[in-house]
């Protein structure tokens, strides 16, 4: 009781100072508030929607690069594997820092902060091009995700469902899958035996990803068959990503997705759909036809009352990424974020981080803060959202109930 009153007090103080339009990249003071610190310390369950290689906070990314001189930074701020093909003038992170560059300089180029007058999505996709080569070898994958899982553990997150494409040959895909599993095993052994990681294998809808769709899915299924976490699947679901207002429609992939799901019992489906302000965007309807169990974003669902009812009656969980929605220009004021009404209508929600490396200071805490303040949530509401993140995860029943037990005890301890 005392804790929930205290929560109301620090939430009110936060709202007084910052209102409900919070800029998680510019308002540095947010991070030293009692509300942020409190939410940071809470056991949060899981992050069910975060994209590969876009997770480590910028300072940690700089640190990672410093530890890996096999990666260099080109004069265009692109991370590149050193050696053959590295453009003239490329430097290691150590050299960049020695020459006076700081974390803040990299923040300008590698987060949406640098977008300026450019359309945010264009700049944002450019960051993936600049930073997309950070995990170019299995050992880099292993080290990056060891750090990612340790980071999540440090902020009370015990399970990650990572959106990850499997580019390259089958062997490349397998090596990446095995490296991800090794990272999980290392963090379990070293830090926390309870931590879990599962992979949502991604295809994509833009011109770069589209020709590779079948390969990406075949690779994913190959890795699913070969890489297991004990006797449980490691690759648990598929998804299709990219800016949907300018990419191909999900309709282009519908038959193939349905076939993959039909032929692979137990493989889950969550699709990015409705990440749009448009009212003439039928993506959610197609996602529902494909048989999604969770909906990635679903931001514009309010425009389609019948679909909203379908999502509600089927108990489909929506993956809401508030900080990302703000960073990419869908919603500036969290009090007006439409998912507040989805929650009130009885649709189960989980709060997720999307691409925290490029959109915020760190994963997930800001997302919970945004909705706690914007939707005026009680501590009990926050508890329910955290609980949902385990309940609606794609973990198999034994792991799910183990994690729920673990989380419930941790929550009671943290809030008693
Ligand atoms: Zn996403």
Q: How far is the CA of 101 from the centre of ligand 1 (A)?
A: 30
Given CATH 2.60.40.1930, say whether it is the number of domain 2-57+137-415: no
Question: What is the C-alpha separation between 53 and 325, in angstroms, rounded?
Answer: 19
Q: How far is the CA of 245 from the centre of ligand 1 (A)?
A: 14
Identify the pLDDT of residue 411: 97
pLDDT of 392 above 60: yes
Q: How far is the CA of 61 from the centre of ligand 1 (A)?
A: 20
% pLDDT > 90, the chain: 90
pLDDT of 11 above 60: yes
pLDDT of 279 above 90: no
pLDDT digits (tens, 9 = 90+) for 224-234: 999 999 999 99
Q: How far is the CA of 224 from the centre of ligand 1 (A)?
A: 21
Identify the pLDDT of residue 269: 98
Q: How far is the CA of 51 from the centre of ligand 1 (A)?
A: 6
Q: Sort residue 85 into left (φ over 0), alpha (ψ -120 to 50) or beta.
A: left
* CB half-sphere exposure, 253, CA atoms < 13 A: 30
pLDDT digits (tens, 9 = 90+) for 156-168: 999 999 999 999 9
Q: How far is the CA of 209 from the centre of ligand 1 (A)?
A: 15
* C-beta of residue 399 within 8 angstroms of C-beta of residue 23: no
Q: How far is the CA of 320 from the centre of ligand 1 (A)?
A: 9
Q: How far is the CA of 382 from the centre of ligand 1 (A)?
A: 22
Q: How far is the CA of 149 from the centre of ligand 1 (A)?
A: 19
Q: Which residue from 404, 359, 363, 380 is spatially nearest to 115, judged by alpha carbons?
A: 359
Q: How far is the CA of 321 from the centre of ligand 1 (A)?
A: 8
Q: How far is the CA of 239 from the centre of ligand 1 (A)?
A: 9
> How do 71-73 and 91-92 pair as beta strands?
antiparallel
Sign of CA dihedral 359, 362, 367, 369: negative
Average pLDDT value for the chain: 96
Q: How far is the CA of 241 from the centre of ligand 1 (A)?
A: 7
Identify the pLDDT of residue 1: 56
Q: How far is the CA of 199 from the centre of ligand 1 (A)?
A: 14
Q: Where are the domains of the chain?
A: 2-57+137-415, 58-134
pLDDT digits (tens, 9 = 90+) for 188-201: 999 999 999 999 99
Identify the pLDDT of residue 85: 84
Identify the pLDDT of residue 2: 85
* C-beta of residue 115 within 8 angstroms of C-beta of residue 123: yes
In the predicted model, what is the mean pLDDT of residues 357-361?
A: 90
pLDDT digits (tens, 9 = 90+) for 394-408: 999 999 999 999 999
Q: How far is the CA of 250 from the centre of ligand 1 (A)?
A: 15
Weakest-pLDDT range from 15-19, 24-28, 139-143? 24-28
Q: How far is the CA of 358 from the centre of ligand 1 (A)?
A: 12
pLDDT digits (tens, 9 = 90+) for 53-81: 999 999 999 999 999 999 999 999 999 99
Identify the pLDDT of residue 317: 98
Q: How far is the CA of 226 from the centre of ligand 1 (A)?
A: 26
Q: What are phi and psi of 197, to 5 degrees?
A: -145, 135
> How do 196-204 and 228-229 pair as beta strands?
unpaired
pLDDT of 328 above 70: yes
């Amino acid at each position: 009781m005392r804790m929930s009153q205290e929560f109301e007090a620090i939430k009110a103080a936060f709202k007084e100072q910052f209102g409900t339009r919070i800029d998680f990249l510019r308002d540095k003071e947010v991070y030293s508030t009692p509300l942020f610190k409190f939410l940071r310390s809470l056991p949060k369950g899981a992050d069910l929607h975060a994209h590969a290689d876009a997770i480590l906070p910028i300072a940690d990314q700089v640190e990672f690069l410093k530890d890996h001189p096999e990666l260099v930074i080109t004069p265009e701020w692109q991370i590149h594997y050193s050696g053959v093909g590295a453009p003239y003038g490329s430097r290691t992170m150590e050299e960049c820092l020695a020459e006076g560059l700081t974390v803040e300089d990299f923040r300008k180029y590698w987060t949406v902060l640098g977008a300026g007058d450019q359309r945010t999505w264009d700049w944002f996709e450019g960051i993936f091009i600049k930073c997309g080569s950070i995990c170019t070898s299995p050992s880099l994958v292993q080290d990056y995700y060891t750090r990612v899982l340790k980071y999540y553990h440090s902020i009370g997150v015990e399970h990650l469902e990572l959106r990850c494409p499997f580019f390259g040959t089958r062997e490349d895909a397998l090596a990446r899958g095995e490296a991800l599993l090794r990272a999980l095993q290392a963090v379990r052994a070293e830090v926390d035996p309870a931590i879990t990681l599962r992979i949502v294998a991604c295809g994509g809808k833009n011109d770069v990803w589209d020709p590779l769709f079948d390969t990406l899915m075949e690779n994913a299924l190959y890795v699913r068959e070969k890489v297991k976490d004990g006797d449980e699947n490691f690759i648990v679901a598929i998804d299709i990503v990219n800016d949907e207002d300018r990419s191909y429609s999900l309709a282009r992939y519908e038959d193939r997705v349905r076939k993959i799901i039909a032929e692979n019992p137990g493989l889950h489906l969550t699709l990015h759909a409705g990440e749009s302000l448009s009212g003439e965007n039928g993506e959610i309807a197609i996602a529902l036809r494909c048989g999604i169990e969770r909906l990635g974003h679903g931001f514009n669902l309010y425009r389609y009352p019948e679909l909203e009812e379908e999502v509600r009656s089927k108990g489909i969980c929506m993956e809401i990424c508030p900080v990302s929605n703000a960073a990419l220009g869908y919603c500036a004021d969290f009090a007006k974020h439409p998912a507040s009404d989805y929650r009130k209508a009885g649709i189960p929600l989980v709060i997720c981080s999307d691409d925290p490396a490029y959109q915020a200071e760190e994963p997930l805490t800001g997302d919970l803060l945004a909705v706690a303040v914007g939707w005026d949530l009680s501590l009990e509401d926050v508890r329910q959202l955290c609980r949902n993140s385990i309940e609606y995860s794609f973990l198999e029943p034994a792991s799910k109930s183990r994690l729920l037990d673990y989380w419930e005890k941790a929550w009671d301890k943290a809030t008693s």
